[in-house]
Amino acid sequence: MTAVHDGDGTTRWGVLATGGIAATFTGDVQAMAGAEVVAVASRSEPSAKAFADRFGIPRAYGDWAGLVADPDVDIVYVATPHSAHRAAAGLALEAGKPVLCEKAFTLNAREAGELVALAGERGLFLMEAMWMYCSPVVRRMTELIADGAIGEVRTVQADFGLQGPFAPEHRLRDPALGGGALLDLGVYPVSFAQLILGEPDRVQADALLSPEGVDLNTGMLLGWDSGATALLSCSVTARTASTATVTGTAGRIELPSGFFHPDAFVLHREGRDPERHTVESPLTGMQHEAAEVSRCLRAGEKESPLVPLAGSLAVMRTLDAVRERVGVRYPVDN
Ligand SMILES: NC(=O)c1ccc[n+]([C@@H]2O[C@H](COP(=O)([O-])OP(=O)(O)OC[C@H]3O[C@@H](n4cnc5c(N)ncnc54)[C@H](OP(=O)(O)O)[C@@H]3O)[C@@H](O)[C@H]2O)c1
């Protein structure tokens, strides 16, 4: 059941894993009203305890089973590497817990489909932590595009690249952990393009692969039968501008560096001065997605209209197609 603590309406989070994004998310949730982190789980008890001490979290579990069985946890936030999303989110859903699962949703579309089916069977809320889709600035942008502010969208450009090199033992280099630029970074440009244009009809790609066989520097060309295109890239070898532009027949919208969590965008309408658009909000960072999850749980919704499961599945199909084009295979692929 997607019951939310009915005492004071607070959403009580259980955080599964203790790495970088688990810490960022926990800090953001603890800084907002109406939410608290009541438990954390790790594969090891000392890590769980250290994380709980650092953030003042009441309960720490040295295995995932304790967290998902905790009656005080309203929702489990899965923050493991992608390779464990299927297992961790599946365990939580099997235990009757709603789940917010980090991006990339899973390693491949098959795993994503299994999670979506499981959530459906159990009648439980499930959402990919695609926080970009919950950004009020990004939502304002999509409203303007839908209202025809730039005419018919013809092309989307977006990139996300981090400065390398990453050591061979880093998770980004390990095929078993879903390593490579695509699932960590490329998921943002792909999700951005598909937010605007939907699932592409054609996918082309090229990539530089590491000795381990993961993609280090990847270019993608997506095509739609409408004639629209998207030119996207991701890299773990070079810090790209990490900007996005949506161009239509009557203008364009430019998002600044860090396009997936923007403070503002600039709308260029043909023949008019540029317009800068911002959205005032008391929430920051990942609080927008945490607030959307709370809203869904309170309303009894099984998925978020901002991050629909069909969209997450469609993104996973595109990522699968890109990997197929560039020759990246993970051990779980069949
Ligand atoms: N939304 C965002 O902005 C954002 C940003 C960065 C990353 N992410 C996503 O968040 C996920 C984690 O990324 P991260 O940067 O936080 O990684 P990270 O710092 O390496 O942390 C991942 C944590 O997962 C656990 N873990 C490590 N290897 C594991 C394995 N083989 N099986 C199961 N659990 C394992 C570990 O916690 P324990 O030792 O406690 O088990 C580890 O601390 C990835 O899917 C990534 O794409 C999202």
| Closest atom of ligand 1 to CA, residue 82 | 45
Q: How confident is the model at residue 3 (pLDDT cuts 50, 70, 90)?
A: very low
- What is the mean pLDDT of the segment spanning 209-234? 98
Catalytic position from the list 49, 97, 103, 302? 103
Using CA atoms, how far apart are residues 173 and 254, in angstroms rounded to an integer? Answer: 32
- Regarding the beta carbon of 103 and ligand 1, being less than 6 Å apart is answered yes
- The answer, yes or no, to whether the previous bond of 65 is cis (omega within 30 of 0) is no
- Regarding the beta carbon of 60 and ligand 1, being less than 6 Å apart is answered no
Tokens of 170: 């880093």
Whether pLDDT at 129 is above 50:
yes
What is residue 7's predicted lDDT score, i.e. its pLDDT? 56
Q: How confident is the model at residue 2 (pLDDT cuts 50, 70, 90)?
A: very low
User: In this structure, what is the dihedral angle of CA atoms 199, 205, 208, 209, given to the nearest 10 degrees?
Assistant: 60
What is residue 334's predicted lDDT score, i.e. its pLDDT? 76
| Closest atom of ligand 1 to CA, residue 130 | 1
pTM of the model: 0.97
Cβ atoms of residues 194 and 188 within 8 Å = no
Q: How confident is the model at residue 44 (pLDDT cuts 50, 70, 90)?
A: very high
What is residue 123's predicted lDDT score, i.e. its pLDDT? 98
- What is the mean pLDDT of the segment spanning 224-234? 98
Q: Is 92 helix (H, G, I), strand (E, B) or coil?
A: helix
Domain 11-130 has CATH 3.40.50.880: no
Edge-to-edge strand order for the sheet containing 99-101?
59-61, 35-41, 11-16, 75-78, 99-101, 126-128
What are the DSSP calls for 267-330, one per residue? EEETTS--EEEE---S--TTHHHHHHHHHHHHHT-SS-SSS-HHHHHHHHHHHHHHHHHHT---
Degrees to nearest 5, angle at CA 245 with 282 and 126: 55
Q: Say what percent of the chain tops pLDDT 90.
A: 97
**For a substitution probing ligand 1, which of 16, 18, 21 has the most ligand atoms within 8 Å of its CB?**
21
| Closest atom of ligand 1 to CA, residue 87 | 33
Using CA atoms, how far apart are residues 236 and 246, in angstroms rounded to an integer? Answer: 24
Domain boundaries in the chain?
11-130, 133-286+315-333
**For a substitution probing ligand 1, which of 16, 29, 102 has the most ligand atoms within 8 Å of its CB?**
102
- What is the mean pLDDT of the segment spanning 325-330? 98
- What is the mean pLDDT of the segment spanning 230-235? 98
Ligand 1 centroid – CA 174 distance (Å): 13
- What is the mean pLDDT of the segment spanning 40-56? 98
Measured by CA distance, the residue closest to atom 6 of ligand 1 is: 21
- Regarding the beta carbon of 50 and ligand 1, being less than 6 Å apart is answered no
- What is the mean pLDDT of the segment spanning 81-100? 98
CATH of segment(s) 133-286+315-333? 3.30.360.10
User: Distance of CA 334 to CAs 109, 178, 207, Å?
Assistant: 11, 14, 21
Cβ atoms of residues 262 and 255 within 8 Å = yes
Residue 102 has what DSSP assignment?
P
| Closest atom of ligand 1 to CA, residue 178 | 45
Ligand 1 centroid – CA 257 distance (Å): 24
Measured by CA distance, the residue closest to atom 47 of ligand 1 is: 184
User: In this structure, what is the dihedral angle of CA atoms 245, 247, 250, 252, given to the nearest 10 degrees?
Assistant: 10
Tokens of 165: 């090199």
- What is the mean pLDDT of the segment spanning 170-194? 97
- What is the mean pLDDT of the segment spanning 138-165? 98
Respond yes or no: is residue 97 known to be catalytic. Answer: no
- Regarding the beta carbon of 18 and ligand 1, being less than 6 Å apart is answered yes
